[in-house]
Amino acid sequence: MGNKALTRERILEAAEVVFAKKGYHEAIMDEIVQHSETSKGTVYFHFPSKERLFFAVIDSLAERLVRRVEKEMAQESDPLKKVEIALSTVMESLSKRRNLAKLLLVQGYSMGNAFEKKRVEIFSRFAALIKRNLDQAVEAGVARPTDTTIVAQAWLGAISEVIIRWLYTGKPTSIQEALSVLKTMLLQGIAAEGREKGDLERVPSLEGGSP
Amino acid sequence: MGNKALTRERILEAAEVVFAKKGYHEAIMDEIVQHSETSKGTVYFHFPSKERLFFAVIDSLAERLVRRVEKEMAQESDPLKKVEIALSTVMESLSKRRNLAKLLLVQGYSMGNAFEKKRVEIFSRFAALIKRNLDQAVEAGVARPTDTTIVAQAWLGAISEVIIRWLYTGKPTSIQEALSVLKTMLLQGIAAEGREKGDLERVPSLEGGSP
DNA sequence: GGAAATTGACCGACTGGTTGGTCGGTTTTT
DNA sequence: AAAAACCGACCAACCAGTCGGTCAATTTCC
């Protein structure tokens, strides 16, 4: 088993699972070791500490998600649509992968203050992504001029909260529906006054899968 | 110093400070003991475990905040204004007391999964408070009909996120300003279509203190 | 009234389980 | 044969919770 990168990946995956399930403190290194089918020595050969391992997991997940959002957005040119797509993509990804959601939205906190920097850093990446397009929407006159930094943050907070609740209580049963309510509310919250009715109605519901 | 209630209170206050500063796991019982100027035996005489002590702190803070919000709302009868007041009061309280904000918004998570129930429970109290008045606003035709449960949750999430960021990065410098941007956005997000312009503009900025 | 017993609040030295991290050694790769 | 990757038994620090005990205030009993 001489493939370094592969072993590293196995450890990362095991860590993702265990951290998501247990949270930082309750995740025991030995469990990650077991789950990764390597050994303690190996884990510590690849990652210098529990903390760094955790960060590596978060980073890699966030990276992938950002990439995905950027890719989806690139398909579209209308700024308001771009924003919509960013929202949809984030919501959809988080609601489809519990581990991802738990790690990015919740478990980080359980590190205590050590995590704050990291969390701010990661949330900021998404916020920046959204803000950029909000600004364009404002410029195009389709969104009301406002502090887009705050709005972007607030959006993430809103999404985060609704998904967290869903993760832990199972309510609402249909997260898709909730997310579409959410999206309508968020978009209306920034809409320019003179917008036509249709613009908000035609929100493409996050695809509901196959019938 | 034979006053039981007083000692209990001292311990609660010490715990509030230490938990807010360090988070659950990094808060060491001995530090709370020291800070409370009692003894380990006494702390464990009043609270059966670290976890229970933490819950007691949170509960007491949440209780007080809910009371305050309810009291403020009682002054007003217009449902939309009530909702506004609820928003303002929560925002103001959280932004004025860092300990409160940290404990209610952040540190709870650091307990790991044990806390989720509690957190959901507490957030739900506030969400219910907001939802109730949103429903009335919808009925009165001043708010667009929508899933008010989701909206209430989302609002809390948005507030929470903006305040957390402010707590940890100090940005934006003026949280008051941010919160008023936030409030405008949230209220516009639920406004009924036919609303007059003035209704959203006249948002009473969270009092900015004395000049 | 007051001695004796009881109770309730408080104290802090100690402990034992838990768990991140280490290290000497082995296997695999180059 | 040197280096890189891997292994897992072991260690030591940390800290929540315990427990034997003090002391003052009440209550009981003569």
Q: What is the pLDDT of residues B183-192, one digit of tens each?
A: 999 999 999 8
Q: DSSP readout, A142-175?
A: SB----HHHHHHHHHHHHHHHHHHHHHH--SS-H
Q: Identify the CA nearest to A160 among candidates B102, B114, B161.
A: B161
Query: Which residues are CB-contacts of A120 (< 8 A; sequence separation ≥ 6)?
Result: B165, B168, B169
Instruction: Print pLDDT tens along chain B (211 aa).
Output: 448 889 999 999 999 999 999 999 999 999 999 999 999 999 999 999 999 999 999 999 999 999 999 999 999 999 989 999 999 999 999 999 999 999 999 877 778 777 878 888 899 999 999 999 999 999 999 999 999 999 999 999 999 999 999 988 998 998 989 989 999 999 999 998 764 444 444 444 444 433 3
Strand C: residues with CB below 7 A: A 1-2, 26-30, 40-41, 44, 48-51; B 1-4, 7, 38-42, 44-46
Q: Quickly tell me which residue has 């209306």 as its tokens.
A: A188
Helix, strand, or coil here: B210?
coil
> For residue A2, what are the contacts with CB-CB under 8 A and spacing of at least 6?
none
Enumerate the residues of chain B whose CB falls inside 8 A of the CB of residue A105: none
Q: In angstroms, rounded to a whole number, what is the distance separating the alpha carbons of residues B168 and B162? A: 10
Across the interface, whether the CB atoms of B153 and A172 are under 8 A apart is answered no
Q: How far is B3 from chain A (nearest CA, A)?
A: 34
> Which residues lie near nucleic chain D, judged by CB under 7 A?
A 1-4, 7, 38-42, 44-46; B 2, 26-30, 40-41, 44, 49-51
Query: How large is the angle between the packed helices B50-74 and B116-139, nearest 10 degrees?
Result: 10
* Cα–Cα distances in angstroms (integers) from residue B132 to residues A16, A93, B147, in the given order: 39, 31, 12
Contact, A144 vs B189, CB < 8 A? no
Closest CA to A164 of B102, B116, B181: B116
Q: Which of B18, B50, B83, B150 to mutate to test the interface with A (most CBs of A within 10 A)?
A: B150
CA–CA separation, B112 vs A102, rounded Å? 11
Residues counted in chain A: 211
Question: Do B188 and B87 meet the contact criterion of CB atoms below 8 Å apart?
Answer: no
Write out chain A's pLDDT in tens, 211 residues.
447 889 999 999 999 999 999 999 999 999 999 999 999 999 999 999 999 999 999 999 999 999 999 999 999 999 989 999 999 999 999 999 999 999 999 877 778 777 888 888 899 999 999 999 999 999 999 999 999 999 999 999 999 999 999 988 998 998 889 989 999 999 999 998 764 444 444 444 444 433 3
pLDDT for B112-123, tens place per residue? 777 878 888 899
Q: Where are the alpha helices (DSSP H) in chain A?
A: 4-22, 29-36, 40-46, 50-74, 79-96, 98-101, 116-139, 148-169, 175-190, 198-201
Decide: helix, strand or coil at residue B66.
helix
- A168 Rama class: left (phi>0) / alpha (psi -120 to 50) / beta: alpha
Tokens coding B97: 């007391």
Tell me the one-letter amino acid at B108: G
| Distance in angstroms: CA B45, C1' D18 | 12
Distance A31 CA to C21 C1' (A): 15
This prediction's pTM: 0.89
Please give the C-alpha separations between residue B170 and each of A29, A62, A76, A128, B161, in angstroms, as whole numbers.
34, 24, 35, 17, 13
* Phi (first) and psi of residue A144, to 5 degrees: -65, 140
**Which of B25, B168, B197 is nearest residue A116 as measured by Cβ atoms?**
B168
Q: DSSP class of residue A115?
A: G
Work out the number of other CB atoms within 10 angstroms of the CB of residue B42: 16
